[in-house]
A and B are shown apart, each in its own frame.
Chain A
């Protein structure tokens, strides 16, 4: 791990792995420090921003350095199941690339339990880890100019759902009708870091 300065009131904790990042994030989040302004997980890092003039960054550092990151705090993660119609435009190509049948792609994707590692790209877009190896495939060479809201895709080590229609380069498995982000809701994002997610096939 390495602490990198990020301006006057923030620090970037660079981690060795996604697992270490998740453990560090959970450790910091569980302390509920009042002077933390933002706690932003990334693929291999956690960005921590504190109220100017507070001691929060020192507290975070002490907390992380004292923690056993191989055993992150026992959180009580939210569990979310998303119903998906597996009829995505790239389903056949995903199966071909994996060297398996379309049915097996669906079985693999619905059989795994995922964790929201971090968010970005758009409000409510979660990068979900736990993707079975055969489904770890590169992005499309030519990203689409428009991916419809609710599209479920894969890219690299992640799977995720487009909260709204946008350009995108992920390979598309199917679509869910779930609302991923609603800024007027008390819980605006369906998926937050640390949440557990499963996909269920519906026709």
Chain B
């Protein structure tokens, strides 16, 4: 049986694939990799279909041993990767012989590295996905030292480019936001939202918490309660504190606070890579 063994998980190592959308009506979040293009790329580099499960590693520090011959690739921010005593770098497919150890260093920028293995990580799926959902605690538990993970059958030879330039991750993000559905709950919603925000340390896979000037509701809506309504990934929800939260993949499926605007899907990977302290400027539009 093809397997890998986790030697050190680092700060956080979670199994992630493209998630389990389509279950929100049962109260189940979509989950899945926060930086979807990075996971897809890692899978392509090792010859997998893009939807195979890999490991989402926060701030590196992940070490694992191959218990069978396999191909691996690490994507996301540029990061040091060692296979045995070879420095190999990220964004490149690497062959590991049985027994060889792979170590991912800490990225200089960004937050989440993605490791794909040929065949994909083949733990039992839950609701059609192998993603760990930290809010609902669905899917495989966070990885710990000593965990042994089964791999699926490799599909073929690694395809595509041998190396890919890693993305540049900025410490200042410009993020489009479509106003609504509840922008009319706020005084001059566009103007207020366009302030400069800072990513707070309490951010996680549920949401990116932002610090900055508290968003003010209109006089009419000051003490109004919103009946629970559905929410989606990318929704900018404003709790009573006035400090917005951008919902990420493990967000609750319904919420009782107004959503002032929605970040389009293409901007979510950058938010998933934003470290605490990153500046965020929204560009609201109708």
A interface list, Cβ under 8 A from B? 4-10, 12, 14, 37-47, 49, 52, 118-125, 127, 181, 183-184, 188-189, 192-193
Residues of B within 8 A of A123 (CB): 23, 26-28, 136, 138
Q: Does the CB pair A120–B178 fall under 8 Å?
A: no
Q: Does the CB pair A122–B138 fall under 8 Å?
A: no
Q: Does the CB pair A40–B253 fall under 8 Å?
A: yes
Q: Does the CB pair A4–B180 fall under 8 Å?
A: yes
CB contact between B265 and one of A5, A47, A52 (< 8 Å): that residue: A52
CB contact between A189 and one of B26, B139, B232, B254 (< 8 Å): that residue: B26
Residues of A within 8 A of B208 (CB): none
Nearest Cβ in chain A — how far from B168, in angstroms?
Answer: 25
Nearest Cβ in chain B — how far from A113, in angstroms?
Answer: 21
Residues of B within 8 A of A45 (CB): 227, 229-230
CB contact between B22 and one of A5, A38, A125, A181 (< 8 Å): that residue: A38
Residues of A within 8 A of B138 (CB): 123, 183
Report how far A12 CA is from B234 CA in the complex, Å.
Answer: 15
Q: Does the CB pair B253–A120 fall under 8 Å?
A: yes
Q: Name 8 A/B residue pairs within 8 A (Cβ), A-sorted.
A: A5-B181, A6-B262, A37-B21, A40-B230, A47-B231, A125-B27, A183-B126, A183-B138
Q: Does the CB pair A47–B229 fall under 8 Å?
A: yes
Report how far A118 CA is from B230 CA in the complex, Å.
Answer: 9
**From A41, which residue of chain B is reached at the shortest CB distance?**
B25
- Apart from A41-B230, A42-B228, A188-B127, list 7 A-B contacts with CB within 8 A: A6-B232, A40-B253, A45-B227, A123-B23, A183-B126, A188-B26, A189-B26
CB contact between A49 and one of B182, B228, B232 (< 8 Å): that residue: B232
CB contact between A184 and one of B25, B124, B178 (< 8 Å): that residue: B124
Q: Does the CB pair B24–A40 fall under 8 Å?
A: yes
Report how far A119 CA is from B21 CA in the complex, Å.
Answer: 15
Report how far A49 CA is from B262 CA in the complex, Å.
Answer: 13
Q: Does the CB pair B126–A47 fall under 8 Å?
A: no
**From B254, which residue of chain A is reached at the shortest CB distance?**
A120
Residues of B within 8 A of A122 (CB): 27, 136
Chain A CB count within 10 A is highest, among B136, B230, B265, for B230
Q: Would you call B37 an interface residue if the criterion is a C-beta within 8 Å of the partner chain's C-beta atoms?
A: no
0/1 interface trace, chain B 18-39, chain A, CB 8 Å (1 if under): 0001111111100000000000
Q: Would you call B252 an interface residue if the criterion is a C-beta within 8 Å of the partner chain's C-beta atoms?
A: yes
Q: A42-B229, A47-B231 are in contact. Are A193 and B25 (CB under 8 A)?
A: yes
Report how far A183 CA is from B180 CA in the complex, Å.
Answer: 33
Nearest Cβ in chain B — how far from A160, in angstroms?
Answer: 11
Nearest Cβ in chain B — how far from A66, in angstroms?
Answer: 23
Interface SS of chain B: loop
The number of chain B residues with a CB under 8 A from chain A is 35
Q: Does the CB pair B28–A10 fall under 8 Å?
A: no
Q: Would you call B264 an interface residue if the criterion is a C-beta within 8 Å of the partner chain's C-beta atoms?
A: yes
Nearest Cβ in chain A — how far from B228, in angstroms?
Answer: 5
Report how far A193 CA is from B262 CA in the complex, Å.
Answer: 25
Q: A43-B227, A120-B254, A188-B127 are in contact. Are A38 and B27 (CB under 8 A)?
A: no
Q: Does the CB pair A4–B265 fall under 8 Å?
A: no
Nearest Cβ in chain B — how far from A110, in angstroms?
Answer: 25
Nearest Cβ in chain B — how far from A19, in angstroms?
Answer: 14
Residues of B within 8 A of A5 (CB): 178, 180-181
0/1 interface trace, chain B 224-268, chain A, CB 8 Å (1 if under): 000111111011000000000000000011110001001111000
CB contact between B178 and one of A7, A41, A124, A181 (< 8 Å): that residue: A7
Residues of A within 8 A of B264 (CB): 7-8
Report how far A89 CA is from B97 CA in the complex, Å.
Answer: 59
Q: A5-B178, A10-B232, A44-B229 are in contact. Are A119 and B25 (CB under 8 A)?
A: yes
Q: Does the CB pair B232–A47 fall under 8 Å?
A: yes
Residues of A within 8 A of B254 (CB): 40, 42, 118-121
**From A12, which residue of chain B is reached at the shortest CB distance?**
B181
Q: Does the CB pair A46–B26 fall under 8 Å?
A: no
Report how far A192 CA is from B24 CA in the complex, Å.
Answer: 11
Nearest Cβ in chain B — how far from A82, in angstroms?
Answer: 17
Q: Does the CB pair B178–A40 fall under 8 Å?
A: no
Q: Does the CB pair B232–A38 fall under 8 Å?
A: yes
Residues of B within 8 A of A41 (CB): 25, 230
Nearest Cβ in chain B — how far from A53, in angstroms?
Answer: 12
Residues of A within 8 A of B265 (CB): 8-9, 52
